Amino acid sequence: GQQVMQIPQYQHVQEGEDFTTYCNSSTTLSNIQWYKQRPGGHPVFLIQLVKSGEVKKQKRLTFQFGEAKKNSSLHITATQTTDVGTYFCAGGSNYKLTFGKGTLLTVNP
Amino acid sequence: NAGVTQTPKFQVLKTGQSMTLQCAQDMNHNSMYWYRQDPGMGLRLIYYSASEGTTDKGEVPNGYNVSRLNKREFSLRLESAAPSQTSVYFCASKDPTVYEQYFGPGTRLTVT
């Protein structure tokens, strides 16, 4: 079945540093989604990418979808303590998603 | 709108006991999902229901059963709980016109 791999598993940064998490799929994806889960909370949808090479920005967050639609990345510029949490990528069909294992981001103030 | 609600929030079971986790959504979504989340394992799909009246197995269905009671409600049953089923369980729902899934607050289950 489809596998979605995400690295790194953990990332600790000083506040103000940048952060990037990478997602790779074993198969071509029709779309990729990103979710954020705060400690003790539930996953919350951030964004969806559909087109090859697509880049989307949300304030300090930049999301990219690879040209081959098999990889994606999330980059956070100048991290803040509010960015703490686990970031998941997920790919799949309209009915079913396969989630990566997530990257836990901690930020030292 | 309450979104996706789950009951109970916490539960402790002894090995061999049974229980049902309840999930309801008020967004008129067609599709509903049950995931489990274990440390370092991400979210793994247990069962899903693409629409009312249908259910399908996900990645880790063994030891679980589901019922799509109506469009709003999707329950997950553990017939004979095992310590390996200690986990956080999330229910989610989705509108057919978009890809985004909406998650409930989760049920933290411990099996001793």
Distance CA B22, CA B20 (A): 6
The values of phi and psi at residue B19, to 5°, are -165, 160
pLDDT tens string A62-92: 999 999 999 999 999 999 999 999 999 999 8
The answer to whether residue B44 neighbours chain A at the CB level (below 8 Å) is yes
The pLDDT of A8-23, averaged and rounded, is 97
B66 three-class SS: strand
Query: What tokens does B35 get?
Result: 């995931």
Which of B44, B99, B103 has the CB atom closest to A33's CB atom?
Answer: B99
| N-terminal to C-terminal alpha carbon distance within chain B | 36
Is the pLDDT score of A12 beyond 90?
A: yes
Of the CA atoms within 13 Å of residue A32, those in its CB half-sphere come to 35
Distance CA B79, CA B62 (A): 11
pLDDT tens string B16-56: 999 999 999 999 999 999 999 998 888 999 999 999 999 99
Is the pLDDT score of B1 beyond 80?
A: no
Please provide the size of chain A in residues.
109
Name the DSSP letter for residue A77. Answer: S
Q: Are B56 and B34 in contact (CB under 8 A)?
A: no
Report chain A's C-alpha Rg in angstroms. 13
Which of B31, B40, B59 has the CB atom closest to A95's CB atom?
Answer: B31
Residue type, B15: T
Chain A residues with beta carbon closer than 8 angstroms to that of B103 = 42-44
Contact A43 B45 (CB under 8 A): no
Mutate which: A38, A95, A98, vs B, most B CBs within 10 A: A95
Name the residue with tokens 């990103």: A34
